[in-house]
Amino acid sequence: MAKSRYWNWAVNLALLLLLLIAVFKINQLHQNSQQLMLNCSSELYDRRLAQSEDAEHYLVVDLQIKGANAVVNYRYFDLDGSAAGSILMDGDVERLADKQYQVSINHKQELPGKGQYPAHLQYVSYISNLNLNRDGNHLMSLEILDVDASKDYAVVRFQPSNTVCGCRLMH
């Protein structure tokens, strides 16, 4: 009887050990110890104005991922450099793969600028409002398509918008 009990507990201990190893592996897959800072500048052209010239703006997106937190700051400027509005978002981040992250925005703040909102700002505002009001969060994933840390650049693809963007790597 005592010998049988000994073997019973030996089996249980072995199972427990294997389970701990499996849990450790799963935890490794989902650990959030990443750090990434990107600065992405874009020229915005709005071609909706059929007759006259395009509406032009500049967009600077600062993306900061630190641990499990993400901050995305969209800043819009007119051609003369004056602020045309901004959207500051923050939320949680999860690493999906080596160069892929899932960002769950749960809070945002919009600040007005001078004149009419750029079309891109209206678009980002509309989509994020829609998701935040409906789901309580605005999900987006980002994938680094190409990176060269020595030259401080990264080409990033945002989903689900399918936006490809070249960015400066910040240190």
Partner 1 sequence: MRIGDCWFDEASGELTHQHDDKHWHLPRAERHVLTTLIAHQGTPVSKFDLRGGGDEYPPLSDSSVARAVCMLRSYLGPEHEMLIETVKGKGYLLHRHTPSKAAPSNKTGWRYCQRHWLITALLALLLLGSVYYLNHHTEPQPSVPLVKQALFTQSGQQLQLMLYANSRTNNQLLLQQAAVISTVVQSCHSTVWHEIYASLSHDKQVLNMTLRGESKGQSLVRNLKISDARQPKDFINQLWLQGVNLCG
Q: Which residues bind partner 1 (CB under 8 A)?
A: 1, 5, 8, 11-12, 15-16, 18-19, 22-23, 25-26, 29, 40-48, 50, 59, 96-100, 119-120, 123, 143, 145-146, 148, 151-153, 155, 157, 159-168
Nearer to partner 1 (CB atom), residue 12 or residue 82: 12
Residue 52 is given by DSSP the state S
Task: Please check whether residue 147 is in contact with residue 153, taking contact to mean a CB–CB distance below 8 angstroms.
Answer: yes
Shortest Å, Cβ 1 to partner 1: 7
Return d(Cα 45, Cα 134) in angstroms, integer: 30
Question: In this structure, what token pair is assigned to residue 117?
Answer: 């909102």
Nearer to partner 1 (CB atom), residue 4 or residue 133: 4
Nearer to partner 1 (CB atom), residue 132 or residue 155: 155
